[in-house]
């Protein structure tokens, strides 16, 4: 099986030691990825964005890969600033305050007029807005409750591309078709898991993430649009590394580490559901190219149906399916 120019439209590469520990393994099979800006402090200036990009390029060494850089949303970015950074900027990521890892400086309340300066400028400059859409309500309701905010913003800024990031519910899937300017990323783990996998048997910290995996009917709704390669959905791993000790402890951090084996597992999943390779190709690349208007660097990933034993960890970060066997292996990655 051959996938060309695979893209991960939602990736956490972190910084410093963690960046160096996981960067190469996270990007090896992708032509590019939208890199999240929730560092400490978050990426909010041209200087910090360019410096972070340089650190990423240093960390990946000889891997051929484009980090699509993002800013951490602030309500008052002005248009001149965004114009000055436009060539280096792929999207802006909006976090509700305190909703996930390193999101303390995010948005509280979603008053359209308060957000207008940045959103109007983004709309005019055609910069996509990526949103982690959760309220601070009950954990199983947070995303469904946020749909009305997605819709309010979609209505207020009809030319702004709004990406509902890592959607987990049928309510978000349904919203896709109600608004021309709403799009979505879907992770690998939300195509695989429900809350049963996280907390139905033993509690599984390495499968705990935000948004938390939801009900079977939610996963089925996600699977449907992914497998049919709905033109408004894209693969975004939300691969989020934490050290093993931050996961297996009293107070486990949120995030599932999937990037190194994401394409392989997606290949197995699509095959098991009788979805075509063409649909997988659209889900992991073509849809994103069209929605974001990006031209990824040439990279072809050849997968073969040969069992692969997933490592127990990648430099101390435990991946999904650690120590388990998956059906597909990476045979070759061809550049250029």
When the beta carbons of 189 and 230 are compared against a second copy, the nearer one is 189
**What does the DSSP assignment read for 4-36?**
ES-EEEEE---SHHHHHHHHHHHHTT-SEEEEP
CB of 62 to a second copy, least distance (A): 33
- 197 is known as an active-site residue: no
When the beta carbons of 109 and 201 are compared against a second copy, the nearer one is 201
In degrees, rounded to 5, the angle at the alpha carbon of residue 192 between the alpha carbons of residues 186 and 193 is 100
Question: What residues does 184 pair with on adjacent strands?
Answer: 164, 233
Q: Is 254 within 8 Å of 100 (Cβ atoms)?
A: yes
CB of 243 to a second copy, least distance (A): 13
Q: Are strands 325-326 and 308-309 parallel, antiparallel or unpaired?
A: antiparallel
Task: Write out the H or E segment, with its range, that includes residue 303.
Answer: strand 299-304
When the beta carbons of 45 and 204 are compared against a second copy, the nearer one is 204
When the beta carbons of 204 and 329 are compared against a second copy, the nearer one is 204
Give, in order, the Cα–Cα distances in Å from 100 to each of 40, 135, 203. Answer: 13, 11, 20
When the beta carbons of 256 and 259 are compared against a second copy, the nearer one is 256
CA 302 and chain centroid, separation: 23
When the beta carbons of 267 and 310 are compared against a second copy, the nearer one is 310
Sheet containing strand 7-11, strands side by side: 7-11, 32-35, 66-68
Q: For residue 220, give both structure tokens.
A: 């089925």
Where on the chain is the footprint of a second copy (CB under 8 A)?
A: 138-140, 194-196, 198-200, 202-206, 208, 212, 215-216, 247-254, 318, 322
CB of 173 to a second copy, least distance (A): 18
Q: Could you give the CA distance from residue 18 to residue 16 in angstroms, rounded to a whole number? A: 6
Q: Could you give the CA distance from residue 271 to residue 53 in angstroms, rounded to a whole number? A: 35
Is 251 exposed, middle or buried (CB count within 10 Å of its CB: 0-12, 13-18, 19+)? exposed
Give, in order, the Cα–Cα distances in Å from 65 to each of 8, 118, 236. Answer: 11, 29, 16
Q: Could you give the CA distance from residue 134 to residue 146 in angstroms, rounded to a whole number? A: 5
Which candidate in 15, 238, 298, 313 is catalytic?
238
When the beta carbons of 111 and 245 are compared against a second copy, the nearer one is 245
Nearest by Cα to 131 from 114, 117, 143: 143
Task: Write out the H or E segment, with its range, that includes residue 164.
Answer: strand 162-164
CB of 322 to a second copy, least distance (A): 8
Q: Which residues are catalytic?
A: 238
């Amino acid at each position: 099986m051959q996938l060309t120019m695979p893209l991960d439209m939602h990736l956490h590469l972190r910084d410093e030691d963690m960046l160096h520990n996981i960067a190469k393994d996270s990007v090896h099979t992708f032509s590019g990825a939208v890199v999240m800006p929730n560092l400490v402090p978050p990426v909010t200036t041209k200087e910090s964005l360019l410096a972070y990009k340089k650190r990423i390029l240093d960390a990946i060494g000889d891997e051929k890969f484009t980090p699509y850089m993002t800013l951490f949303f602030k309500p008052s970015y002005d248009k001149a600033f965004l114009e000055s950074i436009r060539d280096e900027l792929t999207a802006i990521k909006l976090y509700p305050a305190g909703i996930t890892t390193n999101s303390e400086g995010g948005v509280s309340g979603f008053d359209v007029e308060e957000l207008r300066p940045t959103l109007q400028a983004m709309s005019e400059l055609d910069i996509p807005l990526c949103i982690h859409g959760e309220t601070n309500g009950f954990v199983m309701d947070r995303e469904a409750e946020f749909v009305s905010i997605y819709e309010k913003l979609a209505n207020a800024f009809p030319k702004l591309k709004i990406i509902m990031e890592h959607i987990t519910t049928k309510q978000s899937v349904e919203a896709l078709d109600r608004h021309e300017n709403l799009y979505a990323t879907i992770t690998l783990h939300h195509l695989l898991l429900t809350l049963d996998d996280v907390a139905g048997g033993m509690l599984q910290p390495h499968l705990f993430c935000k948004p938390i995996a939801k009900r079977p009917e939610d996963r089925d709704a996600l699977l449907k649009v992914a497998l049919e390669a709905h033109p408004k959905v894209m693969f975004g791993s939300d691969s989020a590394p934490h050290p093993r000790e931050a996961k297996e402890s009293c107070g486990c951090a949120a995030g599932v580490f999937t990037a190194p084996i994401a394409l392989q597992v997606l290949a197995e999943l699509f095959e098991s559901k009788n979805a075509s390779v063409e649909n997988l190709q659209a889900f992991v690349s073509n849809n994103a190219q069209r929605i974001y208007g990006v031209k990824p660097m040439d990279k072809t990933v050849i997968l073969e149906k040969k069992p692969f034993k997933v490592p127990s960890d990648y430099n101390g970060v435990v991946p999904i399916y650690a120590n388990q066997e998956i059906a597909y292996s990476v045979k070759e990655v061809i550049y250029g």
